[in-house]
């Protein structure tokens, strides 16, 4: 008679405990009670995947827990599953980083537990066939993969063998559809599993009456709930009383060793169904008709994840091409690996789909890595032009001593601004969407985003109300000239003013220096009639530190009619005749000073982006941006032009007197 090997696994994967209270909550909710239960019940088999930072945190705060886990492993009750040290999204990494992450975690597990792992858990079950070679090279024997990636006709509760270019690895399917439902008893859960098992046996005439394996992968919120409801105690009791001859608790390594049948299958790129269903439209759950959605589809939907990925790949190339001090290069690679933490690119099991906080942590690590690369060899300031984000257009990457800035043709704006200290990406701005923020921006927020408004739309804009986006913010700017030696970029775009169908030409020149950026605008009325409008240059500063729930880390100082005024960023402000203003990021000790060549109106207001969690319909703050706009009146006769200039000075690490 066939036996069903039931493998229960705990996948945590947290890479950042932001404070001690967060760790203590995790320890009290699931770490301690789960390990205590296992220690008291030797017949209960279980598996763990813990990230490297989790191992280090537990070893530092509660070393006794590691010792108990070691005992449980020695008595063959528990298996520790490996993976990436920082729980990365493996398909996004270069092979060197893949193997480095796996080896780093395997080393920690071996030193802590005394046994090297033989299996791999994946963040979001993000899979790519090329991973076969990477994992096989690291000595891994199997991968736990979400069953939604496996063809239904091949999902027979048997281990799958996946081969690619002469290498192979075994795959154990984790069945999220067989996880216990909310308030479902252990007996009812086992009954559902037994019915699915019996159906497979009945329909599979090829493999006959062989033992099968089912994996259930629990996340931390699920584990905490099951522990609270004594579900595992019930499970052990029901198995011993009703299913002792047909269901057996096991761990993946043992189940594979004892398996006498395998299914050959080729698993295409994909991600778990729980994530894939959110990948078709931003923050909208969609029905999945196939398993063809992969991590790249997800990132194309969530542009902030895509932007972080582009930055990570760029820094990866810098690290790989670095020569010189080997120790600095080694440390830079470790910062790079820390920046590859999967939570920054996808989501937590029950969190916001893309986390602004996790992204900013990753950006800081990438900045740390780049700083070390710069120290390995003589650094020279440069501006280069290439397709940085692989969108088909050339972007401009400005690598200066104090900061990095990236300018892209769409909108002609700065979409990445990294100050060369631990401060994150100031241009990591989300955009408002109607279902959750009650309005749409319809353009990507960045620094030096250009608008041309009619009077009524301008009134809406300065009052923080939804309005039609300005005629330039969504345009593709064309290159007029580019000089890497002079650090100058000149762009141009043409647009039509909506009501009167007036044509406008805008030239925009960036002059990048060690201390900042000067942007020169030339607006020309190319229509045969006079043009009256409002020209607005918008700059948005994303929240980079999350130790506060407000914008209190930013302070605004305005020179208004030659008077210095301190403003709070908590409310909308409209000021006339502004000579200059500066934003002070007090958490990171960075100052940004904007100085226009002519007095301008200044509009400042905070934006809180609301999003829902994957397991809830409730909205909660997912990110914050401080928006600041300089505005001028435009009154141009036919064929006439006007010039405006803004100087941005970036001063990191110096306190103002």
First to last CA, the chain: 82
Name, in order, each residue with C-beta under 8 angstroms of 40's C-beta and a sequence gap of 6 or more.
none
446 Rama class: left (phi>0) / alpha (psi -120 to 50) / beta: beta
Q: Mapping DSSP to helix (H, G, I), strand (E, B) and coil, where does residue 241 land?
A: helix
**Is residue 243 a contact partner of residue 194, using CB atoms and an 8 Å limit?**
yes
Question: For the ranges 23-27, 97-101, 564-568, 652-656, which has the lowest average pLDDT?
Answer: 652-656
pLDDT in tens, 224-247: 999 999 999 999 999 999 999 999
DSSP states along 200-240: HHHH-TTT-S--EEEEEEE-HHHHHHHHHTTHHHHHHHHHH
- pLDDT averaged over every residue in the chain: 91
C-alpha dihedral (98, 101, 103, 107), degrees to nearest 10? -170
pLDDT of residue 352: 65
d(CA 271, CA 176): 13
pLDDT in tens, 420-477: 987 889 999 998 888 888 888 888 999 999 999 988 889 888 887 777 767 899 899 9
Confidence of residue 629 (pLDDT cuts 50, 70, 90): very high
d(CA 314, CA 406): 12
Confidence of residue 89 (pLDDT cuts 50, 70, 90): very high
In the predicted structure, residue 631 carries a pLDDT above the cut 60: yes
pLDDT of residue 657: 38
Confidence of residue 21 (pLDDT cuts 50, 70, 90): confident
Question: For the ranges 23-32, 62-71, 207-216, 563-572, which has the lowest average pLDDT?
Answer: 563-572
Confidence of residue 499 (pLDDT cuts 50, 70, 90): low
Q: Mapping DSSP to helix (H, G, I), strand (E, B) and coil, where does residue 415 land?
A: strand
- The pLDDT of 539-562, averaged and rounded, is 82
d(CA 84, CA 103): 8
C-alpha dihedral (479, 484, 486, 488), degrees to nearest 10? 30
Confidence of residue 613 (pLDDT cuts 50, 70, 90): confident
d(CA 383, CA 485): 8
Can you name the residues that pair with 115 across neighbouring β-strands? none
pLDDT of residue 550: 60
DSSP strand pairing (78-81 vs 46-49)? parallel
Question: Residue 620: enclosing H or E segment and its boundaries?
Answer: strand 619-636
pLDDT in tens, 527-547: 999 999 999 999 999 988 887
Confidence of residue 525 (pLDDT cuts 50, 70, 90): very high
pLDDT in tens, 275-305: 898 888 888 888 887 667 999 999 999 999 9
Question: For the ranges 177-191, 256-270, 444-458, 490-504, which has the lowest average pLDDT?
Answer: 490-504
Most confident of the following: 98-102, 321-325, 615-619: 98-102
pLDDT of residue 441: 85
pLDDT of residue 445: 92
Q: Which residue has the tokens 């409209």?
A: 574
d(CA 490, CA 7): 61
DSSP tag of 27:
I
pLDDT of residue 25: 87
d(CA 21, CA 383): 44
Where b means 16+ CB within 10 Å and e means fewer, 160-184 reads bebebeeeebbbbbbbbebbbeeee
In the predicted structure, residue 656 carries a pLDDT above the cut 50: no
pLDDT above 70: percentage of residues in the chain: 96
pLDDT in tens, 329-352: 999 999 999 999 999 998 755 556
């Amino acid at each position: 008679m066939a036996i069903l090997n039931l493998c229960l696994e705990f996948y945590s994967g947290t890479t950042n405990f932001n404070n001690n209270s967060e760790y203590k909550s995790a320890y009290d909710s699931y770490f301690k009670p789960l390990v205590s239960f296992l220690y008291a019940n030797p017949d209960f088999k279980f598996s763990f995947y813990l990230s490297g930072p989790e191992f280090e945190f537990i070893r530092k705060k509660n070393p006794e827990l590691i010792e108990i886990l070691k005992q449980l492993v020695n008595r063959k009750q528990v298996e520790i599953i490996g993976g990436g040290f920082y729980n990365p999204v493996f398909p996004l990494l270069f092979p060197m980083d893949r193997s480095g992450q796996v080896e780093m975690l395997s080393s920690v597990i071996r030193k802590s537990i005394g046994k090297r792992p033989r299996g791999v858990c994946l963040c979001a079950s993000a899979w790519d066939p090329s991973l076969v070679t990477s994992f096989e090279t690291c000595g891994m024997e199997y991968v736990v993969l979400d069953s939604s990636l496996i063809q239904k006709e091949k999902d027979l509760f048997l281990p799958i063998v996946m081969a690619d270019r002469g290498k192979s690895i075994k795959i154990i399917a984790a069945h999220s559809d067989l996880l216990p439902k909310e308030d479902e008893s252990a007996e009812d859960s086992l009954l559902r599993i037994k019915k699915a098992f019996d159906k497979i046996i009945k329909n599979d005439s090829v493999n006959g009456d062989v033992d099968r394996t089912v994996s259930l992968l629990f996340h931390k919120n699920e584990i905490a709930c099951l522990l609270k409801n004594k579900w595992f105690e019930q499970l052990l009791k029901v198995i011993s009383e009703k299913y002792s001859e047909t269901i057996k608790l096991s761990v993946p390594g043992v189940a594979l060793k004892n398996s006498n049948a395998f299914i050959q299958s080729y698993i295409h790129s994909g991600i778990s169904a729980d994530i894939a269903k959110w990948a078709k439209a931003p923050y909208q759950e969609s029905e999945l008709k196939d398993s063809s959605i992969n991590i790249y589809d997800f990132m194309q939907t969530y542009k902030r994840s895509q932007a972080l990925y582009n930055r990570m790949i760029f820094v990866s190339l810098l690290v790989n091409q670095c020569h010189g001090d080997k120790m600095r290069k080694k440390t830079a690679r470790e910062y790079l690996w820390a920046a590859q933490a999967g939570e920054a690119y996808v989501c937590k099991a029950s969190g916001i789909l893309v986390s602004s906080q996790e992204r900013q942590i990753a950006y800081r690590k990438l900045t740390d890595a780049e700083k070390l690369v710069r120290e390995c060899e003589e650094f020279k300031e440069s501006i280069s032009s290439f397709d940085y984000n692989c969108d088909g257009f050339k972007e401009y990457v400005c690598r200066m001593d104090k900061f990095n800035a990236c300018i892209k043709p769409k909108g002609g704006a700065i979409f990445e601004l990294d100050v060369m200290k631990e401060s994150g990406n100031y241009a990591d701005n989300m955009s408002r969407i109607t279902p959750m923020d009650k309005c749409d921006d319809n353009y990507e927020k960045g620094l030096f985003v250009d608008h041309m408004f009619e009077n009524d739309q301008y009134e809406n804009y300065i009052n923080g109300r939804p309005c039609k986006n300005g005629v330039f913010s969504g345009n593709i700017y064309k290159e007029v000239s580019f000089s890497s030696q002079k650090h100058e970029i000149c762009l141009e775009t043409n647009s039509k003013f909506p009501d009167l169908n007036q044509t406008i030409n805008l030239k925009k020149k960036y002059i990048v220096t060690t201390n900042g950026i000067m942007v020169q605008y030339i607006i020309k009325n190319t229509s045969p009639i006079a043009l009256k409008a409002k020209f607005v240059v918008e700059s948005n500063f994303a929240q980079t530190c999350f130790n506060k729930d407000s914008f209190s880390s930013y302070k605004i100082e305005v020179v208004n009619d030659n008077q210095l005024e301190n403003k709070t960023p908590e409310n909308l402000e409209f000021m006339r005749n502004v000579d200059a203003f500066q934003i002070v990021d007090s958490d990171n000790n960075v100052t940004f000073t904007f100085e226009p060549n002519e007095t301008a109106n200044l509009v400042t207001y905070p934006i809180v982006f609301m999003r829902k969690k994957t397991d809830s319909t409730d909205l909660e703050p997912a990110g914050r941006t401080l928006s600041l706009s300089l505005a001028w009146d435009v009154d141009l006769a036919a064929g006439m032009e006007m010039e405006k200039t803004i100087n941005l000075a970036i001063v990191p690490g110096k306190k103002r007197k």
